[in-house]
Structure 1
Amino acid sequence: MGIDSKGKGLLIVLSGPSGAGKGTVCSALRKRVSETELIYSVSATTRQPRQGEVDGVNYFFKTRDEFEGMIDRGELLEWARYVDNYYGTPRRFVEEQLNQGRDVLLEIEVQGAKQVKERFPEGVFIFLLPPSLDELRSRILERGTETEETVKDRMNVAVDELEQVYHYDYVVVNDRVESACGRVRSILTAEHCKRERLFHNQPDWLEGL
């Protein structure tokens, strides 16, 4: 019997401080990797759909009662409440994609990643770092929407979040988007080649040799 080098998909959790470029790197990955191999996690939310948004594509749109029921039943890998609306990652969607051999990419804040690791420790956790704190500050300022006080608050939060880096499997410095994207793809290739991952799902692969 041969060995399947792909097997079950990986849950890739990419997080880091605001301004590290998580969204940009994730967008670059999605352009370079087919959806048959890598799919972006779809979140559930209680907010109303915006024009053009499609249920199950942009979000899973839920009522408050439906969402709170998902929380009670343990159906979310992580969840949080922002501005009177709930947001979270449905476990069922992620597991269905993984079982089909697709890798699932979850872009999330540090606190959400901590919840995911508690509920799904077999995931691959990648921390995206800015080249320096000065560069991080510059990126936040470039948005042009932040006051000096807000920038200061965001930097203080970022320093706290950076201390969580030791809970991650990998660290990728986002100096250039292309380079960071390439490093993440290299991590995925290496993870799929891990002995324990291959043999755990295929313990009898030597039969028939």
Structure 2
Amino acid sequence: VEFITTVTTRPQRAREKNNVDYHFVSRESFQRMIENKELLEWANVYGNWYGVPKQPVKQALDKGRDIIVKVDIQGAATIKKILPQAVFIFFVPPSREELVTRLKQRHTESSFDLALRIKTAEEEIKQLPLFDYVVVNKRDEIDLAVSAIEAIITAEKCRVTPREISLSVD
């Protein structure tokens, strides 16, 4: 399985590593990537740009690799239009209270931004039918989430009619 690192213009957080958690780029670089058609999808989220670089996705798919791309609801909907055979997994915290706790512990949002993120999350959960699977991501139990993802990948590989996924780069 290959994890595709997405691109963002937002500031890097203390524990994040550039080119691991995200490719952190300037707004100008991001705009050039859009103009050069280097992104599979992109969106402005909470005032910052996020996008999925097209080339690593194509390279991994061409090699027959399974890939994981972390995107929001809007990104998933866009990618589903481009790659309708792709498998989509919705990750949720075990409760609304846990979501609020996690957001507060990041210390990255103002009270206004925190309220906006919570409201957005409540709206996003309504988009669950867009996805093929749901995984509950419990605190301190990442191994269970990983096992669920592995089970999904195994189930998909055992399908009688496998999903054929390919990407052409314009």
TM-score range, shorter chain: 0.7 to 0.9
- Give me the whole-angstrom Cα distance separating, in 2, the residues matched to 1:135 and 1:121: 32
Greater RCO, CA 8 A, separation 6+? 1
Q: Is 1:117 the equivalent of 2:80? A: yes
Task: Say if 2:7 and 2:22, in contact at 8 Å, map to a contact too.
Answer: no
Alignment counterpart, residue 105 of structure 1, candidates 68, 82, 94: 68
The amino acid across from 1:130 in the alignment is P
Show CA shifts across 1:88-142 (max 9, x none).
2233321221121221110111111111111111111000111111111121122
Which residue number corresponds to residue 34 of structure 1?
A: none
Show CA shifts across 1:41-95 (max 9, x none).
1335679xxxx956xx964978466423334xxx532112468875422333212
TM-score, normalising length: structure 2: 0.74
- Give me the whole-angstrom Cα distance separating, in 2, the residues matched to 1:65 and 1:142: 32
Task: Say if 1:46 and 1:67, in contact at 8 Å, map to a contact too.
Answer: no
Percent same amino acid at aligned positions?
34
Change (3 A) 1:136 1:53: closer
TM-score, normalising length: structure 1: 0.62
- Give me the whole-angstrom Cα distance separating, in 1, the residues matched to 2:121 and 2:46: 21
Q: Is 1:140 the equivalent of 2:106? A: no
Q: Is 1:157 the equivalent of 2:120? A: yes
Task: Say if 1:129 and 1:174, in contact at 8 Å, map to a contact too.
Answer: yes
Which residue number corresponds to residue 172 of structure 1?
A: 135
- Give me the whole-angstrom Cα distance separating, in 1, the residues matched to 2:113 and 2:126: 20
The unaligned stretches of length 5 or more in structure 1 are: 1-37, 202-209
- Give me the whole-angstrom Cα distance separating, in 2, the residues matched to 1:132 and 1:82: 23
How many residue pairs get aligned? The number is: 157
Change (3 A) 1:188 1:152: same
The amino acid across from 1:115 in the alignment is T
Task: Say if 2:6 and 2:69, in contact at 8 Å, map to a contact too.
Answer: no
Alignment counterpart, residue 36 of structure 2, candidates 70, 73, 78: 70
The 5 A counterparts of 1:1-209 are 38-44=1-7, 59=23, 63=29, 66-71=32-37, 76-81=39-44, 86-175=49-138, 176-197=141-162
CA RMSD of aligned residues (A): 3.3
What is the DSSP-based 3-state SS (H/G/I as helix, E as strand, rest coil) of the residue aligned with 2:84? coil
- Give me the whole-angstrom Cα distance separating, in 1, the residues matched to 2:24 and 2:64: 22
What is the DSSP-based 3-state SS (H/G/I as helix, E as strand, rest coil) of the residue aligned with 1:98? helix
Task: Say if 1:174 and 1:180, in contact at 8 Å, map to a contact too.
Answer: yes
The unaligned stretches of length 5 or more in structure 2 are: 11-16, 166-170
